[in-house]
Structure 1
Amino acid sequence: MSAFDPAAGGTEVRVMERGEGPYVYDTDGKRYLDALSGLFVVQAGYGRKELAAAAAEQAEKLAFFPVWGYAHPPAIELADRLAELAPGENNKVFFSSGGGEAVETAWKIAKQYFKLRGKPSKHKVISRATAYHGTTAGALSITSVPGFKKDFEPLVPGAVKVPNTNFYRAPEYFADDEKAFGRWAADQVDWAIRTEGPDTVAAVFVEPVQNAGGCFPPPPGYFDRLAEICREHDVLLVSDEVICAYGRLGTMFGAQKYGYQPDIITTAKGLTSGYAPAGATIVSERVYQPFGEGDAMFAHGYTFGGHPVSSAVALANLDLFEREDLLGNVLRNENAFRQSLERLKDIPIVGDVRGDGYFLAIELVRDQATKEQFAPGDGTRILKGFIAPALMEAGLYCRADDRGDPVLQFSPPLVCGEEEFDFIERTLREVLTKAVSKI
Structure 2
Amino acid sequence: MSQENRRQQAARDHLWMHFTRLSSAADHEVPVIVRGEGAYIWDDRGRRYLDGLAGLFVVQAGHGRAELAEAAATQAADLAFFPIWSYAHPTAIDLAERIASYAPGDLNRVFFSSGGGEAVETAWKLAKNYFKLVGKPMKHKVISRAVAYHGTTHGALSITGLPPLKQQFEPLVPSTFRVPNTNLYRAPVHGDDPEAFGLWAAEQIRVAIEAEGPDTVAAVFLEPVQNAGGCFPPPPGYFQRVREICDEHDVLLVSDEVICAFGRLGHMFGAERYGYQPDMITCAKGLTSGYSPLGATIISDRIAEPFLHGDASFAHGYTFGGHPVSCAVALANLDLFEREGLNQHVLDTEGDFRRVLDGLRDLPIVGDVRGDGFFYGIELVKDQATKETFDAEESERLLRGFLSTALFDAGLYCRADDRGDPVIQLAPPLVAGQEQFDEIEQILRSVLTEAWSRI
Q: Above 0.5 in TM-score?
A: yes
Aligned equivalents of 1:308 and 1:348: distance in 2?
Answer: 51
TM-score, structure 1 normalization: 0.99
Deviations 1:321-354 (A, max 9, x none): 0000000110000010011110000100100000
Q: Which residue of structure 2 lines up, in the alignment, with residue 430 of structure 1?
A: 446
Deviation at 1:175, TM superposition (A): 3.6
SS of residue in 1 equivalent to 2:165: helix
Name the amino acid aligned to 1:339: R
Name the amino acid aligned to 1:189: I
Deviation at 1:295, TM superposition (A): 1.2
1:46 matched to 2:60 = no
Q: Which residue of structure 2 lines up, in the alignment, with residue 300 of structure 1?
A: 316
Q: Which residue of structure 1 lines up, in the alignment, with residue 165 of structure 2?
A: 148
User: Residues 5-16 of structure 1: matches in 2 within 5 Å?
Assistant: 7-11=21-25, 12-16=29-33
Deviation at 1:10, TM superposition (A): 4.8
Aligned equivalents of 2:393 and 2:307: distance in 1?
Answer: 50
Aligned equivalents of 1:175 and 1:237: distance in 2?
Answer: 26
Q: Say which of 142, 152, 168 aligns to 1:125.
A: 142
Deviation at 1:411, TM superposition (A): 0.4
SS of residue in 1 equivalent to 2:110: strand
User: Residues 18-29 of structure 1: matches in 2 within 5 Å?
Assistant: 18-29=35-46
Q: Which residue of structure 2 lines up, in the alignment, with residue 264 of structure 1?
A: 280
Deviations 1:393-421 (A, max 9, x none): 01000011101000000000000000000
Aligned equivalents of 1:375 and 1:146: distance in 2?
Answer: 17
Q: Which residue of structure 1 lines up, in the alignment, with residue 79 of structure 2?
A: 62
1:363 matched to 2:363 = no
1:216 matched to 2:232 = yes
Deviation at 1:385, TM superposition (A): 1.2
Q: Which residue of structure 2 lines up, in the alignment, with residue 347 of structure 1?
A: 363
Name the amino acid aligned to 2:21: A
Q: Say which of 124, 139, 156 aligns to 1:107.
A: 124
Contact kept in structure 2, 1:340 and 1:421, CA below 8 Å = yes
SS of residue in 1 equivalent to 2:60: coil
Deviation at 1:384, TM superposition (A): 2.0
Aligned positions, number: 438
Q: Which segments of structure 1 move beyond 4 Å, counting only runs of 4 or more?
A: none
Q: Which residue of structure 2 lines up, in the alignment, with residue 80 of structure 1?
A: 97
Aligned equivalents of 1:175 and 1:222: distance in 2?
Answer: 14
Unaligned stretches of 5+ residues in structure 1: none
User: Residues 82-231 of structure 1: matches in 2 within 5 Å?
Assistant: 82-171=99-188, 173-231=189-247
TM-score, structure 2 normalization: 0.95
Contact kept in structure 2, 1:380 and 1:406, CA below 8 Å = no
Contact kept in structure 1, 2:191 and 2:197, CA below 8 Å = no
1:372 matched to 2:372 = no
Tell which deviates more after alignment, 3-12 or 240-249. Answer: 3-12
Deviations 1:227-276 (A, max 9, x none): 00000000000000000000000000000000000000000000000000
Name the amino acid aligned to 1:343: G
Contact kept in structure 1, 2:185 and 2:191, CA below 8 Å = no
User: Residues 271-290 of structure 1: matches in 2 within 5 Å?
Assistant: 271-290=287-306
Aligned equivalents of 1:346 and 1:298: distance in 2?
Answer: 54
Name the amino acid aligned to 1:129: A
Name the amino acid aligned to 1:150: Q
Contact kept in structure 2, 1:134 and 1:140, CA below 8 Å = yes
Tell which deviates more after alignment, 11-20 or 405-414. Answer: 11-20
Aligned equivalents of 1:43 and 1:280: distance in 2?
Answer: 17
Aligned equivalents of 1:283 and 1:316: distance in 2?
Answer: 23
Aligned equivalents of 1:329 and 1:43: distance in 2?
Answer: 12
RMSD: 0.9
Deviation at 1:94, TM superposition (A): 0.2
Deviation at 1:438, TM superposition (A): 1.5
Unaligned stretches of 5+ residues in structure 2: none
